[in-house]
Amino acid sequence: MAAPICGAKLSEGFAASASAGPARLRHRNHPLRNLALAAAASLALLATSARADDPHVALLKNVTGTIAVHRGGASVPAVSGMTLFVADRLVSSPGASAGIVFKDGTLLTLGPATEVQVRDYVFKPKEATYAFDVFLARGSAVYSSGKIGKVAPEAVKVGTPTATVGVRGTRFIVEAE
């Protein structure tokens, strides 16, 4: 049995790294290994894409079904990995769904037959400038706070045809008809 890490015992088949860095678990068949690698790659992608000269505000993930992105008078089919910008309007068909990951880590999951527009987005932590404003014209979405919602919840707005939600929590579902 390997030496304990932080007082915890390691299971058979795991080994603790003896490097100067933090303790790491290695096991080729561990079910969370691929998930951890994918999460690390996603975070690295978000960190490198947060350059000041890059105007995109979010990435589309897990697109299923038909979703159109309306941008500058044109409509293009949404695909996983596609970047989104302020003023983009997304329209999902019945049975379609997609996840949107914003630069600050905010997650917005679109349901079927949904129309949402990114009205404003600013994430400049060095300047303490934040804005998150999306409009849900119809359909449903699940919102999960990122850094903006935690640092400046007053800067987060989710509008619908009949109301504007000011975010003071970390996760909610919103629907518009």
In tens, the pLDDT along 64-93 reads: 999 999 999 999 999 999 999 999 999 999
- Which of 18-27, 44-53, 73-82, 106-115 bottoms out in mean pLDDT, i.e. has the lowest? 18-27
User: pTM of the prediction?
Assistant: 0.68
100 pLDDT above the threshold of 70: yes
The third-level CATH classification (topology) of the domain covering 58-176 is: Jelly Rolls (2.60.120)
Domain positions in the chain are 15-49, 58-176
pLDDT in tens, 44-62: 444 444 445 679 999 999 9
β-partners of residue 131 are 122
Six token digits for residue 84: 């989104």
17 pLDDT above the threshold of 80: no
120 pLDDT above the threshold of 60: yes
Q: Which of 114, 97, 127, 92 is nearest to 158 (CA)?
A: 114
Confidence of residue 99 (pLDDT cuts 50, 70, 90): very high
CA atoms of 90 and 49, how far apart (whole Å): 21
Instruction: Tell me which residue has tokens 């996983």.
Output: 80
Burial-class residue 98 by CB neighbours within 10 Å (0-12, 13-18, 19+). buried
Check residue 168 and give its pLDDT: 62
Check residue 165 and give its pLDDT: 66
Check residue 77 and give its pLDDT: 98
User: Mean pLDDT across the chain, nearest whole number?
Assistant: 77
Six token digits for residue 109: 């999951």
